[in-house]
Chains A and B, each alone.
Chain A
Amino acid sequence: MRQRGTVWRALLATALAVALGACAAPQAERLTQDRGTLPAQAKVEDVPFFAQERLYCGPASMAMVLAWSGVEVTQESVAPAVYTPGREGSLPADMAAAPRRYGRLAVPVATLNDVLAELAAGHPVVVFQNLGLSWLPRWHYAVATGYDLDTSEIILHSAMIQDHRTPLSKFEHTWRRGNYWALTVLPPDRLPARAEPLAVLRGASGLERVGDHKAAAAAYAAALRRWPDNLGAAIGLGNARYAMGDRLGAEAAFLAAATLHPEAPAAWNNLAHVLAESGERRAAIRAAEEAVRRGGESSATYRATLDEVSRGTN
């Protein structure tokens, strides 16, 4: 009997700990204790507000950030790209992919601190919330437009309310239930304040994938300005220029990539192709040989390149 009581007490304690743990808003708490380099307040003033139509929190939020970034859109015109009628809502994956179709750079934002940093840099952020409970979800998209750390509030264009102020801790709860999903949508030559190079490169290569090579090139160039020795950005810039028919520009980018990263076979491989197309056969062969020598995983591709430039079939 006594033993059973102990077991129950332990179970109760565990349940309580779990419940309390679920109530804490650790990111908001940390921010109010230590704001780091963040200014006390920030507000992105020029984000237009579109009061959402029924079920259109996704399209409305997307339209607001796209319009802020300089694209002329309405929630109705964005809806076909993000809204899924059968689900009566917009899926996060579609929201992340849609900006590409408008030539905009979309990059995920991972933490509350980073969301505020984007706002401080003047970038609105689309956020995904679950306003209900985990087992009874009510999904919602909104656009964060500002914050105030003195009052511990975040400011949102949400549903029908413009500049809705809500406590940071409450926002963290609903945002956590939305799996901490947040996205900045920017003109392609403008980078998020805090993002990691790889996150930016993924956004830029998304632009390549939809065939917007001009926007992709702008994003890669911006990435190179911030991270001058980034291999992915240099090769991406070359690829985007090549796709636009700018062979000389591509050659310059690949040459820069190979010079900065002589250990990277991809840079030599791509350089070999553009050199061969410019009729620089000997230089092309040297570059292709370098790619084969540096080898690595896809060395079959590099050998094929060497064969091709040596034969001069290009």
Chain B
Amino acid sequence: MKLRKAISIIISKFTIFTLHLLRRGGTTLPGKIALKIYPGILESIAKDFEIIMVTGTNGKTTTTRIIEEILKNNNINYITNKSGANLLSGITTLFIQAVSPGGKPRHKVALIESDEAAFNQVTKHITPKAVVVTNFFRDQLDRYGELYSTLNAVKSGLEHTAENTALILNADDSMCASLGEGTSKPVFYYGISCEAYQGNSENVNSDAMFCIFCKSKYEYSNHIYGHLGSFYCTGCGYKRPAADLECTEIQEAGSSFTTVKWTCTSSLLQEKKEFVTRINLPGLYNVYNAMAAAALGLTLKYSADTISEALQSFESGFGRMESINVGDKTVKLILVKNPTGFNQVLSFLALDKQPLNISFIINDNLADGTDISWLWDVDFEQLNSVADNIDRLVTSGIRGEDMAVRLKYSGLDTSKIKIIKDYNMLIDEGLKGTRSGGCYYILPTYTAMLEIRGILKKKFNLKEFWK
């Protein structure tokens, strides 16, 4: 076995090296090869790391990046996966890169973002010290079948973990919180309190309306958004668990930051203390991501001050929201990939007082989800409330035509909607239509994001601005 392990590491490292020479950023192939040669490779090298895992449908990447900031602030020597390499092979590549040819670890901590459907596979090989689960929303259902199957996959993945693996769960998500029921593992819940935010009443298109345990309809004493909130079941009594850490006040919701007050119980912090933190990200969904990261940080005994600092200094990560300046105009790229995230982005755009100039780039490649039906679950109708402020809406990508149809049926003025399939023309016209000092928003799906970034980079001679 030792020999196979060594051969597996060396060949895989050689593959990484060759791919680098070829200037290909291959993150999955080396891991795939290593697992072929020695299926026990990941287990055998990962056991020497302290592993933190993040999974769930929305907010994984942002949460992982905030945790990374916490690790940095604590001078921890860590490794973490990037660039969407969150399936088994990508994670294996990461670990192989992080050990010497003899298999000795060069780092202490491994921070792993895991695809929610791959989580079950990954935990057969590695044993995390703590797992953060963000939430369960409809996301690329064509890939995974159904939301409940995704939940069950994560649940069975958790069964492979250790008795003392800590679970950090979203208290406001009835599906996510259910993972903490009946387990003997240490569980810590995070959330947003009723006092902090009163959301809209029920959304007909909710992803989880019926009790996961007894199928009665949930009641809510407060809704945050989607199916998140203070749910309770009148049938069996299942309800939002008390949070160990929660946001108790949203003091200011800006278009690039959110100032919150948060606190935690003695399960996470001995002294009773309230923190006021200016999270360097806009949107309620990022408050959840920040609270999740903070709960993880306290679970692993990092100091509350370094955590609060991390939330303030964190800069938006790979593709979630990035800005580049072109002359006196700003181009903002915001990834869209499922209805909940898209809705949050639209409510954020509605805050902008400048005339709105938005391009939607919708692809249906495997990494985007091949079914674009989900566009019909996005509440574009909310744009009607800021219709006077809309300058132009341009659609593009493989499914640009479908996106134009979607906007048309939301009831917006069709004379403001245009399809431009050529990316260069799209960007030129987008910038031309933006006033001095104004902002041009581009909302791409995942593979469209990669394409558009490449073009922006070439066009404006940018360095690798997303790093």
A and B interact: no
| A residues with CB within 8 A of B | none
